[in-house]
Amino acid sequence: MIFIKKNIFLKKIFQIISILLIFGQITTYAVEENIIIKCTWKKDYDLYKCEIKNICSLQEYWKNEKKVIKLDKFYKKEIPLEKIKVLYKENQNKIYKCSILNSQEIVFTQVQKILTETDKTWDVMSIVIKKIEDKKIKIQQLKKQSKCIDIKENWQKEAIKKIILDQSSLELCNYRYYLKYLNNTYYSDLKNIVDPSKKVDSAKNIEKKQKWIKNKIEDEINHSLKVFPIAYESYTQYEGFLKIHIMFELLEEDFIVFRNRLYETLHSINQLVYKIINAQSK
């Protein structure tokens, strides 16, 4: 029953993401008419920045200013396609890495609080609490290294998911318009297409390269839209099962203590039985 409910929940999340992306595209087309006026005198890289400010940053579900990590608002000027692809993936990975670290820290804190309020005579209490504290210290170190922003423990789970969805969506929108800038501006300059090792290149060959790059950019736009909901769904699955995983770890600790003490007890009984049998044989 729990598994069925979980699947229903994930399907709803997936549907919401799809609707948001579709709505975002529809809204973008409507907003772009106004952007033509606002960005009339802008061109090239300045046009890209104008579009980000007036399309991505102003859409309702991207207005949330809470972040899990601080990233550059704009991509730098004139980054080729292959390099911007790497940068985009790194940025999205940073968002999800910080999200996972925050989730881990919140769950460990919650479990620690529950344990300290329960029976303090529990055999493995001191062992488990020490391990939780060590893991929280390690998480804090990783968050500091990755420059993650803290998420409050008392925030609602759905609110945290929305923060992650908003920031990753904003990054996707930013990337989408940078690819547009590359297609319309960067690769319209022949020096960014022509192979510098070749002194002369035919017009037909240049046109072929331009078409090839344009297709690659279109493929990348479609690919990024396709992968986005899959990445978010994977995160929600991880976040949903994290607490269960930690509880299994606690059971493992309890079992290890039980096993060791059972061994000690059985060993003493075996020794006693052996001595009795030995004494009777003499």
Write out pLDDT tens, residues 54-86. Answer: 888 776 666 777 889 999 989 999 999 999 999
Structural domain boundaries in the chain? 61-256
Q: Tell me: pLDDT of 95 over 80.
A: yes
Q: What percent of the chain shows pLDDT beyond 90?
A: 25
Q: Tell me: pLDDT of 261 over 60.
A: no
| Residues whose CB is less than 8 angstroms from the CB of residue 171 and which lie 6 or more positions away in sequence, other chains included | 71, 88, 91, 92, 95
pLDDT at 26: 47
Positive or negative, the Cα torsion across 191, 177, 67, 53? Answer: positive
Residue with more model confidence, 7 or 44: 44
The SS3 of residue 120 is coil
Question: What is the distance between the terminal CA atoms of the chain, rounded to a whole angstrom?
Answer: 64
Residue with more model confidence, 175 or 205: 175
The SS3 of residue 174 is helix
- What pTM does this model have? 0.73
H helix runs in 39-80, sequence order: 44-51
pLDDT at 32: 53
- Asked if 232 and 168 count as a contact pair (C-beta separation under 8 A), the reply is yes
